[in-house]
Structure 1
Amino acid sequence: MPSRSNDPVRQALQAGAVRVVDAIVAVEASNPVVVIDGRAGAGKTTLSRMVAAAWPLAGRPQLIALDSLYPGWDGLDAGVESALHDVLRPHARGLLSTWRRWDWELEGPAEAHAVSPALGVILEGCGALNPASARLADVRVWADAPTESRKRRALDRDGDGFRPYWDRWAAQEEHHIRRHAPAELADVVIRIP
């Protein structure tokens, strides 16, 4: 996964993905759980996709974005609780489970997705790393980036759909960080420019 790009963000993400993949190998489990947390625009989604593409074990990992679980713009805590209840705890007990995607346009639950305990899981999103999820995860990741570059990337990606909610969402992120100190729970901290 060596970088041929001169883009410092891409290089940092690729180097971070290598570190996460190395941590997965070190766990020596057939179905590890990787939790990737960070604020909006930090690079969590890109990082999680890179890790999934380079997954070092048999079978494909189940990549679950908390964006699919948050029940709207005020739903950070509810989405995290749903991930714990519907994904992480059943997986840890070796149980098949399901989670429901949140339809942002219709503002309600959508289709269900199965989670196999036989396969690894990558859970990514703000709020993903807290004391409860840290106990269930094999690899814990915090992605960090300066506020201005995060905001620029997030608004470039989501545009006017996110712009009116930036401050509202950032307040929930800040509450999560003050309450749970996810960077301190992480095994791997990745700094993105």
Structure 2
Amino acid sequence: MSHEAGATARAVVDLALGRPPTLGRGRLVCVDGPAGSGKTTLARRVAGLLPDARLLHVDDLLEGWRGLPGLAGSIDALLRPLARDETGRWRRWDWYADGWGDWQEVTPGGLLVLDGVGSGSPAYADLTTVLVWVEAPDDVRLERWRVRDGEAMLPHQERWLRDEAAQHDGDRTRERADLLVDADGRLLSRPGG
């Protein structure tokens, strides 16, 4: 882990722990941004800093390639019980079977890190402790996507890019973010600065 990326992950955790709990007795960090920007790398670093942190990739809650518009409802249904200090439930999307899979549970308390496009929805902004926006130049993002997911996923790319842009524009995710981070994990801005 580079020093700067490690410092950014620590800044996210410090900001979250410095704020009152928003998810019942727990806290919620949402790491959002366009595909291939570096969200998962940062989210793993953040979750790795606390022994009670849990990381949830919102790709697992998407109903396939066209599931982005319904994602906020699925996440909200998971988070509302946690806000009452009750166990939250969510259903995993099986990308290979192209259908819903098994149910998962999340116990209340600690730090929950949501990672993925659409994770920073305003639908549950009242439960979000820290919203992080990660960005990267388009050429970097598209190359990362190609390397990570392979050529077989490229037919989905054009539609996904339109859907994610519409989601982020409609939700004003970048503008609402507490922290802005670049593709290398460097903190671009912090609250009040």
TM-score, scaled relative to structure 1: 0.87
The residue type paired with residue 45 of structure 1 is T
Query: Where does residue 138 of structure 2 map in the other structure?
Result: 147
Query: Where does residue 138 of structure 1 map in the other structure?
Result: 129
The residue type paired with residue 36 of structure 2 is G
Specify which of 46, 51, 58 is matched with residue 46 of structure 2: 51
C-alpha distance in 2 between matches for 1:77 and 1:137: 19
Aligned: 1:17 with 2:9 = yes
C-alpha distance in 2 between matches for 1:141 and 1:72: 24
Flag structure 2 segments of 5+ consecutive residues without an equivalent: 185-193
Aligned-pair CA distance for 1:80: 2.6
The residue type paired with residue 13 of structure 2 is V
Residues 14 and 165 of structure 1: CA distance in aligned 2, closer, same or farther (over 3 Å): farther
Query: Where does residue 164 of structure 2 map in the other structure?
Result: 173
Aligned-pair CA distance for 1:130: 2.2
1:2-41 equivalences under 5 Å are 3=3, 11=4, 13-29=5-21, 31-41=26-36
Aligned-pair CA distance for 1:84: 1.2
Query: Where does residue 189 of structure 1 map in the other structure?
Result: 180
Query: Where does residue 63 of structure 2 map in the other structure?
Result: 71
**Segment drifting more, 138-147 vs 29-38:** 29-38
Structure 1 residue ranges (4+ consecutive) displaced by more than 4 angstroms after TM superposition? none
Secondary structure of the structure 2 residue equivalent to 1:64: strand
Aligned residues: 181
The residue type paired with residue 32 of structure 1 is R
Query: Where does residue 117 of structure 1 map in the other structure?
Result: 108
Specify which of 80, 85, 96 is matched with residue 105 of structure 1: 96
Flag structure 1 segments of 5+ consecutive residues without an equivalent: 4-10
RMSD: 1.7
Report if aligned partners of 1:70, 1:76 keep a CA contact under 8 Å in 2. yes
Structure 1 vs Structure 2: percent identity of aligned residues?
Answer: 36
C-alpha distance in 2 between matches for 1:91 and 1:161: 37
Query: Where does residue 96 of structure 1 map in the other structure?
Result: 87
**Segment drifting more, 144-153 vs 155-164:** 155-164
Residues 14 and 163 of structure 1: CA distance in aligned 2, closer, same or farther (over 3 Å): farther
The residue type paired with residue 187 of structure 1 is D
